[in-house]
């Protein structure tokens, strides 16, 4: 006979969305069981956001060492010690993991290690134990997709989780997919000294970004010697003595030591009892409303496993955090406001970085009409701090004529740190004239935000012609 534990909330999945929901619910005096088959923190902490950004930072250090002479610093670059890079990366992950474990324990949350399955509308079964919750939150995350007929072997044909564990820098790499994951690994591997080529089926890299941002990134990658083939579709792959040979539609072929498949992430929902419990599923994604409620009363879903029908749902760790908090507060009866997903910042941590919030120019025109939209671009060559950092890029604003700012799109080194201000500008529906009157500290790259708004408000200052 199975044991039965009853609590207020059972959370299935301990990634960003799941643990955020658990933490906030416990703070609101709810009893919580958090079920996780691997480690709390999920993909983001262990196989995604944190370790990849550690690799990218190591690559930035390598680039700085190579280029130190231009700053009057005589440094010697002797290559990449991948064992040392992994020690640094794993240390960052481990520190965050231990901190998260301590935080969860301090809130009185019961962590259940094991593979859970939804065995009723309000029940999750792990082994011989049934955990019953007044509410259940599904937060089972996502996995690395591949293409039909393209099998991941973890050695020559790999996904991002394999790439994070390579014990050496590949001499050459083909990256299938020019979205965030593909672009970030291309950037890191190039910094480590690899010969990299990206294959993207769409017309631009980071195709979900404003086209101006995509073009600036492509220009920067050309300068860095990162190759890419746009409007190119994968056909098949063959293993060779030294690596892989990739065949593209149209007859082109590429050869490299490894092929990184970065064509997106799919929902982890199969064989977990969702459909048996009556949960509406479409293409593997759990269908939810604006409050993250499924069609089954008392059952919510958050994070990468979620879809909202035709509305795009960004697969971002911070989206999971926000959704987890929203659901916990909704369950507790607090007033909550549905998330405006366009107002969530998006960052690609390549070199240079790509950061954005709000609508692209195309989206703004589709929504409001071309005659109602105005755009300006402020080149970072006019920004003192950017000159010090030796970075190129721009800030592009999309706004309504005589109305608020609808989108902020930035390319340049370290510009991800600027997007928080842009988030406030978009979400508070600020007018360009209102932002233009704010005094930004000098010399900082944040001045570029102010200068762009001054330009849009009709009173430009340091505008580079």
Q: What angle do CA 247, 252, 257 make, to 5 degrees?
A: 55
C-alpha–C-alpha distance, residues 266 and 138, integer Å: 15
Peptide bond into 443 cis (omega under 30): yes
**DSSP-assigned letters across all residues of 333-352:** T-------GGGS-EEE-SSS
Which listed residue (442, 453, 462, 464) is catalytic? 442
C-alpha–C-alpha distance, residues 344 and 296, integer Å: 27
Helix (H, G, I), strand (E, B) or coil at 103: helix
Of 114, 133, 113, whose CA–CA distance to 122 is shortest? Answer: 133
- Contact yes or no for 286/294 (Cβ under 8 A): yes
Backbone angles phi, psi at 222, to 5 degrees: -60, -45
**DSSP-assigned letters across all residues of 433-464:** HHHHTSPPPTTSTTHHHHHHHHHHTT--SS--
Give burial (CB, 10 Å; 0-12/13-18/19+) of 54: buried
C-alpha–C-alpha distance, residues 59 and 37, integer Å: 32
Of 355, 381, 426, 318, whose CA–CA distance to 210 is shortest? Answer: 355
- Contact yes or no for 178/202 (Cβ under 8 A): yes
Helix (H, G, I), strand (E, B) or coil at 415: helix
* Catalytic annotation present for 442: yes
Active site residues: 442
């Amino acid at each position: 006979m199975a044991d039965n534990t009853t609590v207020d909330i059972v959370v299935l999945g301990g990634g960003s969305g799941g643990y955020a929901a658990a933490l906030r619910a416990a703070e609101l005096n709810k009893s919580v069981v958090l079920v996780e088959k691997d480690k709390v923190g999920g993909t983001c902490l262990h196989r995604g956001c944190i370790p990849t950004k550690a690799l990218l930072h190591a690559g930035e250090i390598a680039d700085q060492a190579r280029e130190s002479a231009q700053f009057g610093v005589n440094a010697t670059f002797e290559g990449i010690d991948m064992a040392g890079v992994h020690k640094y990366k794993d240390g960052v992950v481990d520190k965050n993991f231990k901190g998260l474990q301590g935080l969860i324990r301090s809130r009185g949350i019961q962590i259940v290690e094991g593979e859970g399955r939804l065995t009723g509308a309000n029940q999750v079964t792990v082994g011989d134990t049934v955990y019953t919750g007044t509410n259940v939150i599904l937060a089972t995350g996502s996995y690395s997709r591949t293409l039909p007929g393209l099998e991941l072997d973890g050695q020559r044909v790999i996904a991002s989780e394999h790439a994070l564990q390579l014990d050496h820098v590949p001499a050459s790499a083909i990256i299938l997919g020019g979205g965030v994951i593909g672009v970030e690994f291309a950037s890191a591997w190039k910094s480590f000294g690899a010969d990299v080529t990206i294959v993207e089926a769409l017309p631009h890299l980071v195709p979900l970004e404003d086209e101006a941002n995509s073009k600036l990134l492509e220009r920067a990658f050309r300068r860095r010697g990162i190759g890419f083939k746009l409007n190119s579709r994968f056909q098949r792959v063959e293993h060779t003595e030294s690596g892989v040979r990739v065949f593209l539609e149209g007859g082109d072929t590429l050869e490299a030591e490894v092929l990184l498949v970065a064509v997106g992430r799919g929902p982890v929902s199969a064989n977990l009892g969702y459909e048996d419990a009556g949960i509406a599923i479409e293409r593997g994604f759990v269908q939810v409303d604006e409050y993250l409620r499924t069609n089954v009363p008392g059952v919510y879903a958050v994070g990468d496993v979620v879809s909202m029908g035709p509305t795009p749902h960004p697969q971002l760790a911070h989206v999971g955090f926000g959704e987890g908090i929203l659901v916990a507060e909704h369950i507790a009866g607090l007033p909550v406001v549905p998330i405006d997903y366009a107002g969530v910042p998006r960052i690609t941590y390549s070199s240079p970085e790509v950061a954005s919030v709000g609508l692209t120019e195309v989206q703004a025109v589709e929504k409001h009409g071309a005659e109602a939209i105005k755009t300006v671009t402020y080149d970072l060559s006019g920004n003192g701090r950017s000159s010090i950092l030796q970075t190129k890029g721009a800030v592009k604003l999309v706004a309504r004529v005589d109305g608020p700012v609808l989108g902020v799109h930035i390319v340049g080194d370290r510009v991800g740190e600027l997007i928080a201000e842009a988030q406030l500008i978009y979400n508070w529906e600020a007018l360009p004239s209102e932002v233009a009157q704010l005094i930004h500290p000098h010399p900082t790259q944040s001045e570029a935000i102010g200068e762009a708004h001054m330009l849009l408000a009709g009173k430009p200052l340091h505008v580079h012609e």
